[in-house]
Every structure is written in C-alpha cells, then in structure tokens.
Amino acid sequence: MLLSLRKEVCKLPKAELVKLVIRLDQKEPSLRQEIREFLQQFRSAQTVFHRFSSWVRRRCKRPGQKPGHPGQTRPKPDHIDRVVEQRLTHCTRCHSALGESVEITEHIQEDLIPARVEVTCFRHHRYWCPGCRRLVSAPTAPDEIPDSYLGPAVLTHTLLFKYVHALPFNKIRMAFQQMGGLTVTEGGLSQALQRMARWLKIETGELLQAIRTTPAVHIDETGWKITGQGHWLWAFVTEKLAYYRIDPSRGSTVPKGVLGPTYEGTVISDFYSAYNLLKVRQQKCWAHLIRELREEAKQDISEEYRLAHRGLRRIFLDARRLARSRIDLPVVTVFRRSRLLSERLLQWGAAPYHSRTLRRLSERILKHHHQLLTFLEQPHVPMDNNHAERMIRPHVIIRNRSYQCRSPTGALTHTDLMSWVQTLALQGRAIGPVLGAAYVRHRQGDPTPILLPAPAVA
C-alpha cells in the first residue's frame, strides 16, 4: 500500500508537491497534539490495567489449605442426641447369612427439628381474700406476655428476621407459615414490634445517656424515607454502643440534640459541614481523604497531582506509623513528631496548585489540619470513621429491600430496635434471648432497665 502511494506521489507535478508539503507542515502541530492526547489516554488505561492485574494477582488465591497442610473440616458435635444402628442379617451381594459385626463405622449428621406451633393457655386462678375482702388473681407466668397473642419466641424471631437478616414483613409471614405453620398477618407483626419498641423505651433512654458519657463517638448519616418523604438516618456509635435516630434535618441540630450541651468527648466524622458547628474536639476521617485522592488520581494524571498525592500519602503513612509505635516512644518524641506532621500538613495545604481538585483539597486541609491529628493525642480515638460506616451498612441493606418506613411510629420503632440489635451485637451478646427477656420483664410490670451493664461499657 505504501509503495503504490509513493508511486502516485512521484507522478505529481512540482507545484502540487509544494502545496502538499505546505499542507502537511500546517497540520503537523495538530497531529502532534493528537498523538500526545492518545499517549496520555494509553498510559492512563495502562495504569488502570496494571492496578487491576495486580489486584487479581493479590486476590485470586486457590481455595483450601496449602499443599502438605492438614485439611479443615467441620468439628464434631460435643454431644449426640440419637443413635441409629444399621445392621445386616444377609449379604447384599450373595445373600449369605451373616454373624456378628466385626467393625463399626460411624457417620455423624446434624439436622434441624421441624418447628411446630405451640398454643399455651395461661389460666389465672382468682381467689376471694377475706382480709382484703376482694378478688386476687394469680401472677403471670415467667414466659407470659400480658395481653399478647404472640409469644416471646415469635417476637424475637420476627425481630431477628427484620433487623438482622433484613427481611420484609411479607417474607417473614411466609417463613412462619412454611417453617412452623403459624398464620399471622404482616400488620400483626409490625404492630407487635411497635409495642416491643414502646415497652423498651426506658432501655433506649439509658442507651442515649450512655452515649453521652463516652470519651469518643463516631457519627455518620445516610438517606431515609418515611412515607416517601426524604429524611436522614443518623448513627452515633462507639466500640460497644450504637444509637440511631431518623430526622428530617441533616443539620447540626441533630448531633447537638443527641450528644447534649455538656458532651466532653471527641467526635469522629467525615468532612460534612454540619459537624463544623459542634463545639467539641473532633477527628476527621483520613480514609475519606485518601479515598478521594485515589479516585481523583484516575482522572488527573498530571505530574503535579502525582507528586501532591504521593506527598499527602507519605504524611498519612508517617502519622499511622507514629500512632502504632507511640507506646514504645517517649512522650516528648511523640509530641515533637506530631508537631512536625502538623507543619507538613500546613505546608501541603499552603502550596500553590494549578489543579482545581488540589486547590479544593488544600483548602479543606488548611481548615481541618488541627482535626486530622487528634488521634495522636488521644490513644482511644481512631484515625478514620470506618466504624460508623460499617454500623450504618445494615440500614442501607434494609433500605434496598423494603419501602423503609411507612409512618413516624414505624421510624421510631426501627431506630429503637436497631439501636439495641447493633449494641448487643457489638457486645457479643445473644440478641433474641436478651431482648425477649427484657421485653417480657417490662410487660409484666418491672420498669428497671436491665439491658446495659452498670456502668455501661463504651
């Protein structure tokens, strides 16, 4: 093809050749610019491919133990409920008569017993007291819920299905019908959970007071709907406690109202502007900052952004290394290195940048530089807000599988029960039995809070 093109060019007269050379000279800058843009796109795609291939090499591990290592299997149960003896009297091949067995092989199998509905009639005998001259009635049974047609097991399983396994009420109704033959309506289940949340309100008040006395609290928020109207679900969590609230506002009035005017702890949050109005010590999330830098690096491949990204990442790694090794270092050394890190942050934020993204991030760091290194001064404060994001994830799953809340009462039920479900999960306690026992106790007339240990562990 090139040879034939060359022959055609040679046949052109001199005047046409001169015009062709002039046109090519005029097109040269634009062609060079197109080549540069193509090379930049190629390098960007090549970088993404290398990152993906390294991720594949890092993640794609063959399942199971390494060759030569002992295999892993299900551990044997610590007890056996039933023994089935399988014997033979004649050979299955030649039908000859057999004597006593010479060897026994065992096969252990675990199974679930099919559930069934148990209907209990609590008969309360009433007596005539000659002293009081009035009728007295026998007290409620230990597992009896006054004025309730559904027992504690049904309520606790509904609670687990709804707030742990994120099933909607129609699926819960089907599960009860198919697994145990229990017929119940979706509205009956919803109203039962609303009554449970109402009777556990005294426990939720104790949980809120415990949150207000913690030395550090993570805060995050996500969108939520009540009858189709936009609201916000707020999460206030610690290592052992979780408290949620649904509010139409996303402003600072919500965290101020939950924490109270006398809160003296540290708030760990992202860079949302509502948290700037809180008059408490704060730790801003490094994970949000580094994640945003990493995402922007996929779009901006300039040398300026690469150097700035690497510089801020070095500050992050040095701060994390200092936090992990501060136990073995003198206090003076930790203080001096923390001050140097603060100066490096200020220098990074004060540097002149041409990139719009870098200018925006530098303004954020200059505004919050004193809130990015709080974790170096307080060992109990983490450097990120990942805990709050993990604790808000169950709500996101429920939001994607349901219509969220259909009434303000349903929203209050959701936040109160989810607060206790997540709190008990953080404390490693059995959710169903603990909440069921507290609910039965309060329904029987005992108002004493029993769910939080005294003092509450935060």
Question: To which residue do tokens 């709907």 refer?
Answer: 225
DSSP-assigned beta bridge partners for residue 247: 232
| Stretch among 52-56, 105-109, 126-130, 414-418 having the lowest mean pLDDT | 52-56
Tokens representing 47? 């970088």
The answer to whether residue 334 sits within a structural domain is yes
More confident residue, 64 or 432: 432
The answer to whether residue 371 sits within a structural domain is yes
The answer to whether residue 59 sits within a structural domain is no
Q: What is the pLDDT of residues 394-443, one digit of tens each?
A: 999 999 888 889 899 999 999 999 999 999 999 999 999 999 999 999 99
Task: Please state the three-class secondary structure of 241-268 as a single string.
Answer: CEEEEEECCCCCHHHHHHHCCCCCCEEE
If one counts the domains in the chain, the total is 1
Q: What is the pLDDT of residues 159-209, one digit of tens each?
A: 999 999 999 999 999 999 998 889 999 999 999 999 999 999 999 999 999
pLDDT tops 60 at residue 248: yes
Q: What is the pLDDT of residues 158-170, one digit of tens each?
A: 999 999 999 999 9
The answer to whether residue 352 sits within a structural domain is yes
pLDDT number for residue 325: 87
Contact 339, 332 (CB under 8 A): no
The answer to whether residue 359 sits within a structural domain is yes
pLDDT tops 50 at residue 456: no
The parent domain of residue 322 ranges over: 286-377
pLDDT number for residue 367: 87
Q: Which residues contact 335 (CB under 8 A, 6 or more apart)?
A: none
How far is the C-alpha of 18 from the C-alpha of 22, rounded, in Å? 6
The answer to whether residue 348 sits within a structural domain is yes
Task: Please confirm whether the linkage preceding 455 is cis (ω < 30° from 0).
Answer: yes
DSSP track, 419-451: HHHHHHHHTT--HHHHHHHHHHHHHTT-----S
The answer to whether residue 184 sits within a structural domain is no
Contact 270, 20 (CB under 8 A): no
Give the Cα-Cα-Cα angle 81, 86, 91 (nearest 5 degrees). Answer: 170
The answer to whether residue 127 sits within a structural domain is no
User: Residue 221: what are its φ and ψ, rounded to 5°?
Assistant: -145, 155
pLDDT number for residue 49: 58
pLDDT number for residue 4: 67
Count CB atoms within 10 A of the CB of residue 305: 19
pLDDT tops 50 at residue 458: no
